[in-house]
Amino acid sequence: MTDTYTNLVNSGFTKTLAKRLGLPRPAVLRRHRPGAPLVPGPVLVVNDDASGPDADALAEQLLGWDLDVHRHAGHETRFGAVVVVLTEAADPQALGEPLLTAGSVLRGLAPGGRVLTVARTATGATSAPAAAARAAVPGIIRSLGKEMRGGATANALLLEADVPVGAPSVAGGLRFLLSGRSAYVDGQTLTVTTTDGTTPDDWDRPLDGRVALVTGAARGIGAQIARVLARDGAQVVVVDVPAAGEGLSRVANEVRGTALQLDITAEDATARIVEHVRTRYGHLDLVVHNAGITRDKLLANMKPDAWSSVLAVNLAAPLRLTTELLASDVLGEHPRVVCLASTSGIGGTRGQTNYAASKAGIIGMVHAMAPDLHGTGGTINAVAPGFIETDMTARMPFASREVARRINSLQQGGQPVDVAEAIAFLASPQAGGVNGQTLRVCGQLMVGA
């Protein structure tokens, strides 16, 4: 679906007119293109006094990606990204100097630029001042995300106490949040929980040799997930109900994968998936629970079937399929499970008690099952989209759709590819240290936390 307003205010005479009238001007976001630079300019790395060694290590990592890294702010330089390293901040007073240094160059940040803080989680702090300093970082990022302009974003990479900055998932998270793959991720935190994960041989094809299964893949977000996983090297099995068979076949042909028509709520769904995967590929490495339905009604008007059908597809099926696949022998080494949650499950949406229940339940499922997946060498995470431009949102009333598009920091809806990029990252070997997390892909939608 096309956002006509955003297109108009970024082209020709209407761009000039919008600027003169002071109208909101959502920027064209910098999304990933193979072969494009990782960031749109030099990278400034700043730190508090105690975090110098970690800042040095991260600067070396960035230099290894052939980036132009600066350690001092030059106001004549148009930076493409700013990385603020606060991993050893022991007191809130230590935050001021590096953050104000970063702030001094933000007016000249390149369009589509990135601000990224790298810090520790508050849970591992050994003193109250250290805990206060660490807890302050997400608040700073949530506020800074709302100040960014020109399609730039601000996010935080948080590390648990025993995770060194040299861990593969720190590099993976750093690269994802700096790149165009995170175009619609703003004002968010991504936590690296363990030292697990590996650095891919090819950052552009980290899923080479992996077999992925995507449910609800006949169209929309599911189809785009299949495309991005295939682009990144995966062999993809696309799944949807028989009624969507024609669209499913088109997607399977496009990604050179295989199609499996089934209802994921059926009792034999797992058995059929295992049979298909074992026959065609021998093993399964990645499961994406994307299939979902809505049956919106005010709770006062909701019928039992509207409640039960949404919970069955959106939550009960992913729970059962994941549990049964873990109990089978079809999963490969270091399996990944990624589930589709929603900001509706975080902030709630009028007329969606059933849908919000299912998506909040997904977040709970991911948190609870993370130890089980870690025990197998794998991970389970969720992605929570906000307003995404799909056929479903195109059917919304015009006024409601426009409001939904604009009430986020980027002032526009996301694209299915934004959700797919986040899922591809969480599915990758470099995200092996990210487990039990829910990453919002919502442009910092102004609902929920």
Given 5, 184, 281, 355, the catalytic residue: 355
Q: Is the CB of residue 386 less than 8 Å from the CB of residue 412?
A: no
Q: Cα(354)–Cα(15) distance, rounded to whole angstroms?
A: 42
CA distances from 375 to 75, 361, 418 (A): 49, 22, 30
331 CB neighbour count, 10 Å cutoff:
24
Q: Cα(372)–Cα(337) distance, rounded to whole angstroms?
A: 11
Burial 379-391 (b: 16+ CB within 10 A, else e): bbbbbbbbbbbbe
Residues 6+ positions from 127 with CB-CB distance below 8 Å: 90
Q: How far is CA 356 from the centre of its chain?
A: 19
DSSP 77: S
Residue at token pair 């250290």: 130
Residues shown for the chain: 449
Q: Cα(97)–Cα(107) distance, rounded to whole angstroms?
A: 17
152: left (phi over 0), alpha (psi -120 to 50) or beta: beta
Q: Is the CB of residue 235 less than 8 Å from the CB of residue 210?
A: yes
Q: Is the torsion defined by CA of 33, 37, 41, 43 positive or negative? A: positive
Residue at token pair 């919000």: 356
Catalytic residue check, 355 = yes
Q: Which residues are catalytic?
A: 355
